[in-house]
Structure 1
Amino acid sequence: MALGWWLGGAKAGGRAELDTWLALHPAALFALIVAVASQPASRRITALGIGLLLALSAELALVTSLGAPPPLGQALRAALAGLVLGLALDGAVRLGRALDRRAGPALGAVAALALLFVPGVVDLHERLVLTPEPIAAADRPAVALLTGLPLVWGESGPSETVAGNGNATLRALARRLRIVPVPNVESLASSRLALIVQPRPPGPAGLVALDVWVRRGGRAVLLLDPSLRWSSALPLGDPRRPPLDAGLSPLLAHWGVRLHVGGEGVEFVRIGQRRLALPAPGWLSGCGGEGIAIACTIGRGRVLIVADADLIDDRAWTGPGTGGDSRAHRLADNPAFIAAMLDRLAGRTPDPSDRVIWATTPHI
């Protein structure tokens, strides 16, 4: 079962972690316990131990083959949790079989299956063995959001609310940060930290205001796109459409940075331990480096610039179906990457619980 799951979804998603298989353990343990229910206690316990050992050994080998370091700590937790759950299922089977000798096998299986639906039983197993979802911090720092994209409001402005509570990337960021939309560059004056995503051209006065804000200690993540692919229901030429040009080239040049047009199509790239899905990304040069992302110190401030505003487009990184934006089903780390950059600018440690371990071998 683990091999079939690996050859299907896990291999296609490029993940190199145990979570996918450990989530199947309760069902597999149920099948094992019911299969050996007629055996003496010593044989049942031996079968449970051997089953867990073989399953975890195979799963560790698969994860390692995808390029990840063996997660031995998680495997040990899974072994202990599986042993406890297996013994509990065995106890439920014994109880069902004791109630009626004639219908004992069926009652035992029903009792074990019912145990898996008792509130908290499977949840406790998953809390012990699965990587936890990010937990919202009580002291979330405020982040001013300046953008020309319809992330919070619709293309008509604040009067039109985006359906479905807006952008999934912003929802993910809101678990760590307090997102405060602002209408223009001048509104950044009262903020220390900002996320600037393909804003509408601010004009000469706005460029000066942004430069002054940064030099006085402002910190910002800039997602700027030389080839924006954001879809729009508005006709070409409508000023309410997402801006193809953010109008920040003069300011970037003043900072010694150039934004270049890049490739076509969606590229999956690795930056550190993060896997990013980038639709037609550009590249940057300046501040002593070049690449898809660069860091610049400007006066007392600091900016992290990424040459792709489509990075924040949900279609690039979410998996198919409901829950495609969850840690377990996402295709890339786009929101986690943005959150980590903002965390660093805010002087905080990036959230380790949201990290996905991706395969380093060419299985995708």
Structure 2
Amino acid sequence: MRPQVGLQTGFAVLLAGLLALSAPARAAEAASADDTAKYLAGLPVPAASPLAPLEAEAGWKQHASYFNTAFARVDKAQLSKVRDWSSAHIGAGLRKPTLYYFFSGPDFLYANAFFPDATTYVMCGLEPVGPIPDLTKLKKGTASQALRTLQTAVRSLMGVSFFKTIDMKTELRSGPVTGTLPILYAFLARSGKTIGDVALVQIGADGTIEPESGARTGAHGAKITFSTAGGPAQTLYYFSVNIANDGFGKSGLGQFGERLGVGNALVKSASYLMHGGGFSQVRSFLMEKSSAIVQDDTGPPVALYDRTKWDVKPFGRYVGPISLFPGRGQPKMTELFHKEKPGPLGFGIGYRHRMSESSLLLAVKK
């Protein structure tokens, strides 16, 4: 019996040793969403993170240097000035818990700069969500390619304040990491946020948020919970969805908005889609569900703002649309800027991204 006991004991010791060795390996298989965001943003991850070894690679060091320079530049030239403008003109009495930022793509940078203390951000665009990124599963040597793709994808927003949808369709489907989530991760991390949880979701028929099931109905997207150091929990929803009249009703966004209630809205570089009849439903939704709307001239036309119900304040200088959008000039907008003394803007925004040509409106519901 003793040899059998010894064999069993030896096997038990060997099994325990193997389990002890395999436990750290399993724990290192996946990085947290926050570590992933920091890595993609070019920010150091904790030493114990499974992504820490990847930061020794030349590709990540170049990426971190590039993003350090790029984000410092855009913060100095744009975002810090947007925050100052927001602080001066969107006081505590105007701020609501929810921000509706449709036609946004993954642009969290400007959503956060204009409305930093929203508790719920609802963003959407045609850009795909993609899978939740797991960088530990990338093939060896492909992490640098993922970082280069990310740099290319954010370049237009960092340079001219908006995403170019045509370019994004290609950029967000190429490379080893795809979709809008890597961009949202990087923007959240660079905005000083700590990501808590990320889930793929969809909107149910009654406007509730449900786990992604692959159903054909309802908008599909991602839910990201995050926070700023010492601040409350915040939530970002991004939906990849068609919000033209043939898609908005099916998306469930209207029902979801009914649950969230009145909020604020941000509209910029929206291709003047709400100037025609094809996007009348989403336009009505934003004007009904918003206490205050910050918009460039691509938002709801000035002529639709009933002055008995809205105060509309102009900022900057209105020179009309760029040549890509002929026929979208607004005589009422020109009249507004001539009739009322526009407030200073101090930054460029939208398609007229040069500061000397940029305009913004702050519409506040009475």
The TM-score, its normalising length taken from structure 1, stands at 0.22
The TM-score, its normalising length taken from structure 2, stands at 0.22
